[in-house]
Structure 1
Amino acid sequence: MIPSQLIVFFMTIYLLESLTIIVQSSIIVAVLSREWVQVKRLSPVDMILISLGICHFFLQWSSALHNFSSYINPDNELWYIGIIWEFTNTLVFWLTSLLAVVYCVKVSSFTYTIFLWLRWRILRLIPRLLLGSLMISCVTIIVSALRVVFFKSQLISMMQLPGNITKTETLRTFLEKYYIGQHLAILFTPFLLFLTSTILLIASLCQHLRQIQHHDTGHSNSSMKAHATALRFLAFFLIFFTSYFLTIIISTKYILRHKTSWFWAGETIIYSTVSIHLTSLMLSSPALKKVLKVSCCGPKLPAAPGTIP
């Protein structure tokens, strides 16, 4: 079957977005790995960023392989690629929520006991929290895969028996609703943690910004600019990761066939938010910002003798 022009259009955009995300993820991993080799250490934020880069790399490859393989051969159900996508997507949510928690603990001006304790311990806890995110994602996906395999085996055995059409459709509907509910439950917990941490950090920065507005010194003006920039970044970060969460949930709830233009339009929207989200993550790391400035503006020329550098 020859695809329509609309499907080809969305498929092309999706392919370009996939390549962009793969390149962005590769840059994050390559730059931070080089930084790790040179300096022999990584900051907590960079540890999370390099983990996110690896996850997004495999997430996008599994998404592209699954979508194009399912379009070319719909009868061949590549369930193992779907499991890789679901695992990496779940891990992305946990790592993003962990990044939001680190920002909230280190930057916020709250003086509650729990914040002071976390601020003192967060640097040591990051490797354990990364390992914990990996283990939680592994356990949830293993349990999810086993349950789905069990229900599908029940469905296949019922389809082979005559006169079970009504029961088969009931089980199929239950399986789809169960998958949607399970997917919601898996992603909602880390997303709620991300949302809470980001909102708390925005509230803390707004409170501190109101406190320094009464001063008219040059230092307070620079502090206000820094706080305003941080607030814009956090709002940007919150909007696009929330958009990614909502589009994932909507696409899960309204299961569309790979042959339709609506499916490819949905994939285009989902991964455009991923690409923008990755861009915001890259701008949060000084090492990555330095690479982006050099690649966009070219290498900095040496200053002429007698001039101020």
Structure 2
Amino acid sequence: MIPIQLSVFFMIVYVLECLVIIVQSSLTVVLLGREWVQVKRLSPVDVILTSLGICRFCQLWSSMLFNFFSHFHPHCVFWYFGIVWEFTNTLSFWLTSWLAVLYCVKVSSFSCPIFLWLKWRIVRLFPWLLLGSVLISCVSMIFSAIRNHIKIQLNSMRHFSRNSTVTERLETFLQQYAIYQGIMLAVPFLLFLASTILLMASLSQHVRQMKQHHTSHSNLSLKAPATALRSLAIFLIFFTSYFLTTIISIMGALVNKKSWFWVWEAVIYGIVSIHSTSLMLSSPKLKRVFKVRCWGLEAA
């Protein structure tokens, strides 16, 4: 049991992290949305970043509303906020994995026939990939609604011993649902992991080839792939950390979940905040806009 003052501190940290992510997501949507209005088109990468911004915005608000309402009104059921979080969380995992696939296909220099075919077809497949991600997220939302309905039934049936068999069956279903939920997130994560590792391998191969032709010009050109490798490593570490913390939270691995709840939420969304920042910096358009804004502020 942690002191109440420490719980309040981590509660404030959690709120600040959520507000930072909401501001980041709003800026991404506004800036890329304005780009779409001006140019009348967006690249697949920018479409994913815009969709992720909308997802994060809804996810963070649903998380805050659900956590605070459940904390201060523990006897009330706010299942609709949990369903929104389930949908946006699953969709954000798939969008992040497709972003890694796009970067891998466009940047990597592998001559494998599969990569060559994907380079040619990825733009045409892109709308179907997004539609499939939305449909899978809708399925997870339906299962989340069923899980919340079962939880409500369990709370009302635990007082009656004659319903012990039904109660055990419902609890077994909840355990199976936790496994299913973990698999639903593991599939896009493994896709993200494979794409990122392949892209890092391609960039490392490119760096080695550049070092073999050791000239002053090649030393300057080495900075771009080296910076990209560092960014990918950071991106991989924090998205992996977010996946692991989410899986631990789903599986209920915390021993004293109530007393450490706000600590756990602060850790999870601290990772999400860094992950969102790295996503924003992955877009050349967003980086260019921020540089212009910062330059304007300094000139003023």
TM over 0.5, shorter chain: yes
- Please tell me the residue identity of whatever aligns with 2:109: S
Give the corresponding residue for 1:131.
Answer: 131
Deviation, 1:225, is 1.0
- Please tell me the residue identity of whatever aligns with 2:214: D
1:120-179 CA distances to partner (integer Å, 9 max, x unpaired)? 121222222212211121123224433x256447636744644445x4663464244223
Deviation, 1:119, is 0.6
CA change 1:172–1:6 in 2 (3 A) is farther
Give the corresponding residue for 1:59.
Answer: 59
Give the corresponding residue for 1:202.
Answer: 200
1:219-238 mapped onto 2 (5 Å cutoff): 219-238=217-236
Distance in structure 2 (CA, Å) of the matches to 1:118 and 1:289? 27
Distance in structure 2 (CA, Å) of the matches to 1:262 and 1:48? 34
The number of equivalent residue pairs is 298
- Please tell me the residue identity of whatever aligns with 2:70: S
- Please tell me the residue identity of whatever aligns with 1:232: R
Give the corresponding residue for 2:184.
Answer: 186
Distance in structure 2 (CA, Å) of the matches to 1:289 and 1:275? 17
Distance in structure 2 (CA, Å) of the matches to 1:55 and 1:150? 24
SS in 1 for 2:45: helix
Q: Is 1:112 aligned to residue 112 of structure 2?
A: yes
Give the corresponding residue for 2:252.
Answer: 254
Moved more, 290-299 or 25-34: 290-299
- Please tell me the residue identity of whatever aligns with 1:134: V
Matched residues, percent identical? 61
Any gaps of 5 or more consecutive residues in structure 2? none
- Please tell me the residue identity of whatever aligns with 2:12: T
Moved more, 208-217 or 44-53: 208-217
Distance in structure 1 (CA, Å) of the matches to 2:43 and 2:293? 23
CA RMSD between the two structures: 2.4
Give the corresponding residue for 1:38.
Answer: 38
Give the corresponding residue for 1:306.
Answer: none
1:30-109 mapped onto 2 (5 Å cutoff): 30-109=30-109
Q: Is the 8 A contact 1:10 1:265 kept in 2?
A: yes
1:68-108 CA distances to partner (integer Å, 9 max, x unpaired)? 00011001111111010011000000000000000000000
SS in 2 for 1:213: helix
Distance in structure 1 (CA, Å) of the matches to 2:112 and 2:257? 54
Q: Is the 8 A contact 1:282 1:288 kept in 2?
A: yes
Any gaps of 5 or more consecutive residues in structure 1? 303-309
Which of 157, 171, 174 pairs up with 2:172? 174
SS in 1 for 2:209: helix
1:227-255 CA distances to partner (integer Å, 9 max, x unpaired)? 10010010011001001001111122226
SS in 2 for 1:270: helix
Distance in structure 1 (CA, Å) of the matches to 2:179 and 2:214? 53
Q: Is the 8 A contact 1:213 1:220 kept in 2?
A: yes
Q: Is the 8 A contact 1:71 1:258 kept in 2?
A: no
Give the corresponding residue for 1:242.
Answer: 240
Distance in structure 1 (CA, Å) of the matches to 2:64 and 2:155? 28
Larger Rg: 1
- Please tell me the residue identity of whatever aligns with 1:102: L
Q: Is the 8 A contact 1:294 1:300 kept in 2?
A: no
Q: Is the 8 A contact 2:281 2:287 kept in 1?
A: yes
Q: Is the 8 A contact 1:209 1:224 kept in 2?
A: yes
Distance in structure 2 (CA, Å) of the matches to 1:19 and 1:295? 21
CA change 1:15–1:55 in 2 (3 A) is same
